[in-house]
A and B are shown apart, each in its own frame.
Chain A
């Protein structure tokens, strides 16, 4: 009970932060609070938000996934090549998601059966998957798709960009899994106390491996959005995306120590980053200063977490 309350309290705080940021930008520039700009921010946030949804599973389980950016590249080039081979969109999507899931499971296996720390296993995969993407494409981008595929990024329903609906669907599904299924409960309990979870009869290896599969799957969904958006899949796509995804998750209140957090916080965290970047562009703030501001927001968010933990303990 206490756990639930504190999580929702944390989320309210993050939401208040997003709201405060919005009010501030509204006061500073007339271009922020327009329907068209808000939709623009939602569209831009979708890719990071989707990756961060998978990252949330991983971080709640007390792990980390540094390979997500490279998995975006691999899943993207597989998607693009399958499309270029003349396959139907559904097959290409399935191939891409399967590749993302499989690479994610490999991460999981290296961590559970290989007993590697998640940091090392996924750091290795970051390089392996990047190499695979480069090898597969000989370093060249695979670009130019027909409008039916591109509509995943370009279509609008009731004026709302399609990627926003994809993101909502991903979050609804992920939230259901995390909050309503046994697997979801195991993710929390593994992160809270892995040993106790194992002793209570849970197959920790299996479920932990699946957690990384989920993250790989999320990266593949992001790859679909990215490829449709740029009309191109680059083997060098997604470099450093892991940092944005980790940042969104952590700003959203998921603890790097594992065991607590949730998707509601992560989506708000991703929006805070999206709004911040958008606002800094609208204001014409120098790119150098932007990096400082974003870095400070991340550090402050984690600082709060640490301070809270210390008080509680």
Chain B
């Protein structure tokens, strides 16, 4: 009886695997004879990464290489991401593009790729410099948006629309996070040349929606502009502003161009944000990976364009990330 059930179960599973494998066979085993590169992302549960995958697929098609795209189920599961990279090393892919789920935690597996002589392009999130140096790992390139430049763009925009006069509050990200720190630095450098634009308050709001801006608004009634290092915090600030009865009196600047922020800009509740372009990141990553695979020179740092989103272009689809 048992044997009978076994004889039903396993062929059933085997067939499933075969089907799943069969449809991807060309990509998986490289039977087409084309070189094969892999893109390993944090997760596929975020539109940001779906767009990145789309850009990578287009690049692979143009460059006539096979592309394998894999991701962990959850963004937090860096060990699973490590397994995926290990498995792709076993599959002898020609080059790897990787968006690290942990800046330090992926360093050991980048080391394994180094040992297997598979070039690695890091995308979107940088490796921890110290961890990488300590472990002696090498990467072919980093592809990502320049957060410093993003901060600058929005700072320059403020100087222009405020005619050089503004009292600004800054909502920072989590202290010590490279992305947020760079955005603030870029913003500050952009307003440096305008003595009329002053920063009256700057404090961490930990990337979260409901932290702090009410208190800042209480303490500094003269604030006319808020720059939040991501849109979530900017949307929180908008709520605090309308709760304080100051809707429409304070400019709100954000970062990321998420859909809710675009809507707020279209509705006139928010002033501007900065868009990243993950599809271009995906494209640039695969282009760099293919070059590295062929042994051609690749720049150590490849910046992907970022753009200002205001009422003029907030609703336009082509700018959507």
Residues of A within 8 A of B (CB): 6, 9-10, 13, 16-17, 20-21, 24-25, 28-31, 34, 36-37, 40, 43-44, 47, 141, 143-144, 154, 226, 229-232, 234, 236-237, 239-240, 276-293, 296-297, 300-301, 304, 307-308, 311
Contact = CB atoms under 8 A, between A and B. Distances in A.
Contacts of A280: 17, 20-21
A140 B29 CA distance: 39
The 8 residue pairs across chains A and B that have the minimum distance between CB atoms: A284-B28, A281-B87, A283-B28, A284-B68, A13-B6, A283-B21, A230-B105, A37-B90
B105 A143 contact: yes
A234 B78 contact: yes
Contacts of A282: 28, 87, 90-91
A301 B12 CA distance: 11
A283 B25 contact: yes
Given A231-B107, A296-B16, A143 B24 contact: no
8 contacts: A17-B6, A230-B104, A230-B105, A231-B107, A240-B74, A280-B17, A284-B24, A308-B2
User: Interface residues of B: mostly helix, strand, loop or mixed?
Assistant: helix
Given A16-B6, A283-B25, A230 B12 contact: no
Contact of B84 (A226, A281, A307): A281
Contact of B17 (A229, A281, A293): A293
Contacts of A289: 20
B5 A285 contact: no
Nearest to A290: B20
Contacts of B16: 293, 296
Given A230-B78, A231-B108, A236-B76, A287 B71 contact: yes
Contacts of B102: 141, 230, 232, 234
Contact of B91 (A13, A234, A281, A288): A281
B92 A31 contact: yes
Given A283-B28, A284-B28, A229 B79 contact: yes
A279 B21 contact: yes
A21 B107 CA distance: 32
Interface in B103-158: 104-105, 107-108, 130-131, 134-135
> Which one of B6, B24, B25 has the highest number of Cβ atoms from chain A below 10 Å of its Cβ?
B6
Contacts of B11: 20
B108 to A, nearest CB: 6
A17 B10 contact: yes
B173 to A, nearest CB: 13
B91 A304 contact: no
B315 interface: no
Interface in B1-54: 1-3, 5-6, 9-14, 16-18, 20-21, 24-25, 27-29, 44
A301 B6 CA distance: 10
Contacts of B21: 28-29, 279-280, 283, 285
A287 B44 contact: yes
